[in-house]
Amino acid sequence: MASDNQLRSYRIQNQWRNRLAQLLSHISSDPPPSEVNVGKRLQELRIFQGLSLRALAELSGLNVNTLSLIENEKTSPNVSTLQQVANALNVPITAFFQPLTAKKDTVFQKKGQRTQINFPQGKFEDLGGGLALGEGTPLLMTLEPDHESDPDPIVHTGQEFVYCLEGSLAFWVGDREFVLEPGDSLIFEAHIPHRWENRGDCISRSILIICPTDFSDRSVTQHFVDQTPNI
């Protein structure tokens, strides 16, 4: 028979499942990813850092009304908006996609149940599930055929690791080109200008671990062209 603490824990979990019903428009629903309440998470992070809405607006360059609408689930922010807020709070953008639960020491995620964020060229899935690898952000990157990153090379702090799982992926680091096929890996200093392209006729999937030393350099979202309009 379940103890009182277990029953209370079950009730709390069910309450959160009911409350975390709204997803960002960027999050895929096929298959259904983990449900997170970005507005509530933003409010939690803001209050934890002792910031008012007006103070966060000044730090992020966003309108107070915009932030209020996001926190109250009246609108869904795009990637650029979330990155501005992440920079202001000095947290990685993936902090907004973590369930509002206690800190974990172990994470197990079933296939198809990870948080997914779509971009014009593909999508990435958060493999960390709320548990970071030091300063690293582990992602499963899916790239559509004949798509590439922004023509302008990407530059950010720290290091980057790529491991090809499926298809092929061309990576340029400086003036060197590397073609990754299943089983191939690449690691490099991310201050070297780099970009990628899926030149094949099938989807490419890779594990991407980004380890920035400064979260404000937009190290994750620089890898995808954001074509969604600002709020």
CATH code: domain of residue 28: 1.10.260.40
Q: Which pLDDT belongs to residue 35?
A: 52
Q: Which residues is 118 bridged to in the sheet?
A: 123
Output the six-digit token pair for 13.
């979990």
Q: Which pLDDT belongs to residue 12?
A: 45
User: H or E stretch including 207?
Assistant: strand 204-211
Rank 5-14, 22-31, 86-95, 184-193 by mean pLDDT and report only the highest. Answer: 184-193
Instruction: Write the DSSP symbol of residue 124.
Output: E
d(CA 188, CA 192): 8
The mean pLDDT value of the chain amounts to: 75
* 199 and 162 in a common domain: yes
Higher-scoring residue by pLDDT: 199, 230: 199
Q: Look at residues 65, 97, 129 and tell me which one is the last residue of a structural domain.
A: 97
**Domain tally for the chain?**
2
Higher-scoring residue by pLDDT: 173, 223: 173
d(CA 30, CA 116): 10
